C-alpha cells in the first residue's frame, strides 16, 4: 500500500509539473510564465516523497515477497528509476533558469524577449523533462505487468 501511494505521488506530481511546464511554454507574458513555473515548485514535495517512497518501499517489498534477486523487471525498474531522477533533475534546472529569466522580465515591464522564448523552447532542456516522464511510464509498465 505504501509503495502504491508513493507511486501515485510520483506520477501525480510529475503530471502536474508537466502540465504547468507546458502551459508556461505556451504563455505570452513573462509574469504568467514565472507564475506557472513557480507552480512547478509546488509539485516538488510530492515528487520527492514519491521518488523516495517508491525506492524504499519497493526494495522492502522485494525482500518481503521473497522475489528472486535476478528478477529482470525489478532491475530494469531500478535502472529507469535512476534515469528518471537524473533527467528530471536536469529538466528541473532548465525550468528554474526559465523562471528566473521570466521573473526578471516581469519586473522590468513584463515584455517577453528572444532569450526567454529560446529557453522555453530549447529542445534539449524540454527533452530532459519529457524523457523523465517517459521513463516513469516505463517503470509503471514494468511494475504492473512484471514481464519475465
Residue 71 pLDDT greater than 90, yes or no:
no
Cα R_g (the chain), whole angstroms: 18
**104 within 8 A of 34, measured Cβ to Cβ:** no
In whole angstroms, give the CA distance from residue 81 to residue 78.
Answer: 5
Q: Could you tell me the three cell numbers for 106?
A: 516581469
> Is the Cα torsion angle 64, 66, 71, 75 positive or negative in sign?
positive
What is the predicted pLDDT for the residue at 64? 87
Q: Is there a contact between 50 and 7 (Cβ–Cβ < 8 Å)?
A: yes
Give the pLDDT confidence of 98-131 residue by residue, as tens digits.
Answer: 999 999 999 999 999 999 999 999 999 999 999 9
pLDDT over 80 at 147, yes or no = no
List Cβ neighbours of 8 (8 Å cut-off, separation of 6 or more).
50
Q: Please report which confidence band the pLDDT of residue 148 belongs to, taking 50, 70 and 90 as the band edges.
A: low
Q: What are the C-alpha distances in Å from 25 to residues 98, 114, 119?
A: 10, 13, 9
Mark out the alpha helices in 27-122 (DSSP H runs). 30-64, 72-107, 114-120
User: In degrees, to the nearest 5, what angle opens at C-alpha 128 toward C-alphas 126 and 130?
Assistant: 70
Q: What SS3 class is residue 124?
A: helix
pTM for the model: 0.90
Amino acid at each position: 500500500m505504501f509503495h502504491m501511494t508513493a507511486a501515485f505521488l510520483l506520477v501525480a506530481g510529475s503530471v502536474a509539473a508537466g502540465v504547468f511546464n507546458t502551459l508556461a511554454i505556451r504563455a505570452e507574458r513573462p509574469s504568467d510564465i514565472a507564475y506557472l513555473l513557480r507552480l512547478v515548485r509546488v509539485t516538488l514535495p510530492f515528487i520527492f516523497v514519491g521518488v523516495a517512497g517508491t525506492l524504499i518501499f519497493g526494495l522492502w517489498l522485494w525482500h518481503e515477497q521473497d522475489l528472486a534477486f535476478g528478477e529482470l523487471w525489478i532491475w530494469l525498474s531500478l535502472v529507469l528509476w535512476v534515469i528518471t531522477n537524473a533527467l528530471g533533475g536536469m529538466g528541473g534546472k532548465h525550468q528554474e533558469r526559465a523562471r528566473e529569466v521570466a521573473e526578471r522580465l516581469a519586473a522590468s515591464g513584463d515584455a517577453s524577449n528572444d532569450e526567454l522564448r529560446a529557453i522555453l523552447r530549447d529542445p534539449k532542456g524540454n527533452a530532459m523533462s519529457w524523457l523523465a516522464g517517459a521513463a516513469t511510464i516505463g517503470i509503471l509498465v514494468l511494475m504492473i505487468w512484471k514481464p519475465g
